[in-house]
Amino acid sequence: MAASRARSELTFPRPLTTVDLAIFAVDEESLQVLLVKRSHDTSAFADAWALPGGFVDVALDADLEQCALRKLREKTGVEAPYLEQVGSWGNGTRDPRGWSATHVYLALLGRARELLPGGNAAETRWFLVKGERVSVPLAFDHAEILKAAVSRLRAKVEYTSLPAFLMPGEFTLTELQHTYEIVLGRDLEKKAFRTRIMATDLVEEVPGRMRDGQGRPAQLYRLRSRKRPVFFARTFSGPRS
Amino acid sequence: MAASRARSELTFPRPLTTVDLAIFAVDEESLQVLLVKRSHDTSAFADAWALPGGFVDVALDADLEQCALRKLREKTGVEAPYLEQVGSWGNGTRDPRGWSATHVYLALLGRARELLPGGNAAETRWFLVKGERVSVPLAFDHAEILKAAVSRLRAKVEYTSLPAFLMPGEFTLTELQHTYEIVLGRDLEKKAFRTRIMATDLVEEVPGRMRDGQGRPAQLYRLRSRKRPVFFARTFSGPRS
DNA sequence: GTAATAGTGTCTATCAGACACTATGGT
DNA sequence: ACCATAGTGTCTGATAGACACTATTAC
């Protein structure tokens, strides 16, 4: 007992500790996730596509979230997106280098296109999310992790304003609805959607700013808060059968 | 670049890795959480109360959830309660022994009283949860972690059947409602509650089994599944103002 | 019978779905 | 004028809240 306690204090073998990110954005038509190609000269899953992430650096990272923000900055240059922890995955087999645990964060970006490459040498690319997967095999257990992150996002879209964090600075209500529809994978009814959004204080008009297009110009809105989502009392039930 | 990658592979300093549990039960009147008193001869928070948990043992634990189940078994003897990951907390200051990350699980037990001591030498006790805290100071950042676990539980109670996992094998609908009320901290309306529960397939009658009391005997029910909660389309809105 | 608790009938308020309608720009 | 898209009016249906009512036991 005392021996095992002494052993557990500091000499216990320590798992590898990493942080991984599921970074999402939308384009006109679909949900996308940012992946990086792993280096050619690594001992684990060389050349495979993976969620961006890596080891916690105990010298650099004050805490797990700071570590996630650092990795996000390195990959995208973005400073303060919506960031939420999804959970952690740890076992003895997910990494060939040893027992490892990863802390997974979900990030939502407002503009996919502008952010891309950054000076970082690693190959980085947006992949379309189909169902809960991408078209390439992923390193480690990242396919499972991506599936969980997409599920979390889809589940919360039903009763929160998460898709609002996928919008650029100014947007119309129709554009916001379209983003909801892309993430949910089904259509929503216009009037119900607008009533619901306007019943919260999620967005505010940008006075005088309109989006011109083929028809009547549309009022532009902006988010009141870039950090906290709004929760609805009901889910979107969707069109009736 | 190549140097830093080589360094990151296996020689990187590794954080301490632990799993902690917020184990909940209800008695007649209140929500309770199981705490353990830390050993007198440890270098971190000796003699303080803490959430049960400890280091991942890479030789014993196939994965994080197995580790949580092992610790739960050691503290309570319970094999298969409701178990859900709450998230992870990691930083350089939460443990005086070094940069550490803990993976936190929430467990719901059906019968508080029967389970208690077990052969384990460590002092173990149920504490009443008041608001989001207990009456004693907690080791590490466990006060913050407990707060998050209670918040998670309360939030999910609004739109899921989680409190059902706090019930014993057989129970009446009034008892289930009472458990909801204990966790939520407010009263619910009887008819609305029953309509809602019966609209799902959460519970089934135990044929012929009744609870006798001071008034009319009540039908006993049991859960259809001990693993998966049911999700409701709306939250409990509670009595109107 | 009364007290106590289980369980139901039914009205109302709220809000999402449906969908037709009006509003306002471009061409 | 006509098209396209923005945005609204309003009816219906589902369901939670309120609350009075009935049902079944012990005493």
pLDDT in tens, A30-88: 999 999 999 888 888 888 999 999 999 999 999 999 999 999 998 888 876 899 999 99
Give yes or no for residue A116 having a pLDDT over 80. Answer: no
Q: Indicate whether this model's pTM tops 0.85.
A: yes
Long-range contacts of B216-225, Cβ-Cβ distance < 8 Å, separation of 24 or more: B218/B172, B218/B173, B218/B174, B219/B172, B219/B173, B220/B170, B220/B171, B220/B172, B221/B170, B221/B171, B221/B172, B221/B173, B221/B176, B222/B169, B222/B170, B222/B171, B223/B164, B223/B165, B223/B167
Strand partners, B22: B106
Which two structure tokens, joined as six digits, stand for B87? 């998230």
| Cα-based angle A161, B153, B27 (whole degrees, multiple of 5) | 155
Distance from C-alpha of A156 to C-alpha of B155, rounded to nearest angstrom: 13
pLDDT at A137: 96
Rounded mean pLDDT of A98-103? 96
Statement: the CB of A212 is under 7 Å from strand C: yes
Output B227 or A196, whichever has higher pLDDT.
A196
Tokens of A43: 């001992």
End-to-end Cα spacing for chain B: 62
**Any atom of strand D under 7 A from CB of A218?**
yes
Query: Running along chain B, 241 residues long, what does each successive block of 10 average in pLDDT?
Result: 50 91 92 92 88 95 97 84 95 95 96 58 85 95 98 93 94 96 93 94 93 94 91 74 43
Give the chain A residue nearest B91 (alpha carbons). Answer: A63
Stretch A174-194: mean pLDDT? 94
Please indicate whether, in this complex, the C-beta atoms of A15 and B12 are within 8 angstroms of each other. Answer: no
Cβ burial, residue B4 (10 Å; 0-12/13-18/19+): exposed
Indicate the pairing of strand A100-108 with strand A16-26. parallel
Most A CBs within 10 Å, among B88, B103, B152, B231, to test the A interface: B88
- Burial of residue B186 (CB within 10 Å: 0-12, 13-18, 19+) is exposed
Residue B104's pLDDT is 98
User: Distance in angstroms, CA of B164 to C1' of D24?
Assistant: 27
pLDDT of residue B152: 95
Any residues with CB less than 8 A from the CB of A180 and at least 6 apart, and which?
A157, A163, A188, A193, A236
Of residues A9, A58, A92, nearest to B97 (C-beta): A9
What is the percent of chain A with per-residue pLDDT over 70, rounded to a whole number?
Answer: 89
Question: What was the pLDDT predicted at A118?
Answer: 54
Smallest CA–C1' distance to D16, residue: B192
3-state helix, strand, coil in chain A (%, to 5): 30, 30, 40
Predicted local confidence at residue A6, as pLDDT: 47
User: Which of A8, A45, A55 should be substituted to probe chain B, the one whose Cβ sees the most B Cβ atoms within 10 Å?
Assistant: A55
With a pLDDT cut of 90, the percent of chain A lying above it is: 70
pLDDT at B137: 97
Nearest CB partner across the interface for B62, out of A41, A92, A237: A92
Condensed to tens digits (0 to 9), the pLDDT of residues B117-141 reads: 554 546 889 999 999 999 999 999 9
CB contact under 8 A, B90 and A39: no
pLDDT for A220:
97
Query: Cβ of residue A160 near strand D, that is under 7 Å?
Result: no
> pLDDT at residue A114 above 80?
no
- Test A92 with B237 for CB contact under 8 angstroms: no
Both tokens assigned to A54: 């890596």
